[in-house]
Structure 1
Amino acid sequence: MLTSSLVLGEAAHTGINTGDIVFQLVMFIILMLLLKKFAWGPLMGIMDQRAQHVASEIDAAENSRKEAQKLLDEQRNLLKEARNEAQGLIENARKQGDIQREEIIATARSEAERLKESAKLEIEQQKEKAVVAIREQVAHLSVLVASKVIEKELSAQDQDKLINDYIKEAGELR
């Protein structure tokens, strides 16, 4: 019997102990339930919160990028408009300069023409004065020559009458 109890004892030690397996399985399930309730649930909650936070940060970054792109486009458009406006102002100033230059040239030409006409008129007046002066001198010299020839002195009244007659004659011959 001893051999059979030894054999049975050895068989008990070498065989599968189902009680230990069931106990370990129950403990493992309890441990899994406890882990799920106290560790896995809160950990997954934290992970979900972290995932939501990261997603919201990504969305915010994307919105910020879109907003920055929109502002950049607006700034580019404003800069383009400012350049076009500046170009327009430059072109307008250039046109105004051309107009003013033409006005100044026209004014200078008209002033030069006016001065030319004024000079012509003054020359004509001076010429007339010179002709009158020469006529008077010629008349006076003629009277002197005539008085020398006649050898008589004329009175001032006779001299003026003779000069005027001579001037009339010279004017008619002209």
Structure 2
Amino acid sequence: MLTSGLLLGAAASHEGINTGDIVFQLLMFIILMALLKKYAWGPLMGIMKQREEYVAGEITAAENSRKEAEKLLEEQRNLLKEARTEAQNLIENAKKQGDVQREEIIAAARAEAERLKEGAKLEIEQQKERAVAAIREQVAHLSVLIASKVIEKELSAEDQDKLINEYIQEAGDIR
């Protein structure tokens, strides 16, 4: 029995929980974790933290750039709208100015035409008066001539008609 007890004790020692090994392994695991934390996790977490801060900064910068771009886009839209409004106003003013100038030109042309018409009427009237005066002068001259011829000779009715026709002929030739 003794041998069987020994065998059982040896088997039990191999089969049982070896607390020394467990404590040693646990101690090694804790030391390994401390070393990993100090030399691996610390720097790795520092790098990850820096990367996180960098990405957050880039996101913030991108958001700020987007907001600035939207602000500039809105300003450009407003400026474009103002420019279009101003261009439309300039076009309308130019049309109004053109209409005013056209009316002024038409009024000036009408006034000039009326002035020329009045001038032509005046000249026609003057020419008419000169022509009437010339005719009167010729009639007076012819009357004097006829009277002097009549006085020179006593004429019959037939001679009178002949003489009048001659003087009318002469008057026509003089003209």
TM over 0.5, shorter chain: yes
Equivalent residue for 1:37? 38
Structure 2: state its 5+ residue gaps.
154-175
Equivalent residue for 2:60? 59
Match of 2:90, as an amino acid? Answer: L
Q: Say if 2:91 is the partner of 1:87.
A: no
Distance in 2 separating the partners of 1:3 and 1:68: 90
Write out aligned runs for 1:2-151 (5 A).
2-151=3-152
State the identity as a percent. Answer: 79
Instruction: Write the deviation string for residues 116-169 of structure 1: whole angstroms up to 9, x where unpaired.
Output: 1101110110011011001011111111221221117xxxxxxxxxxxxxxxxx
Q: 1:101 offset after TM fit, Å? A: 0.4
Distance in 1 separating the partners of 2:4 and 2:93: 125
Residue aligned with 2:140, SS: helix
Instruction: Write the deviation string for residues 20-63 of structure 1: whole angstroms up to 9, x where unpaired.
Output: 11111111111111111111111111111100000000000011
Match of 1:37, as an amino acid? Answer: K
Distance in 2 separating the partners of 1:106 and 1:7: 138
Distance in 2 separating the partners of 1:42 and 1:68: 38
Match of 1:131, as an amino acid? Answer: V
Distance in 2 separating the partners of 1:63 and 1:4: 82
Match of 1:70, as an amino acid? Answer: K
Aligned length: 152
Distance in 2 separating the partners of 1:93 and 1:86: 10
When the two structures are superposed, what TM-score results if normalisation uses the length of structure 1? Answer: 0.84
Q: Which runs of 4+ in 1 moved over 4 A?
A: none
Structure 1: state its 5+ residue gaps.
153-174
Q: 1:18 offset after TM fit, Å? A: 1.3
Residue aligned with 1:120, SS: helix
When the two structures are superposed, what TM-score results if normalisation uses the length of structure 2? Answer: 0.84
TM-align CA RMSD: 1.0
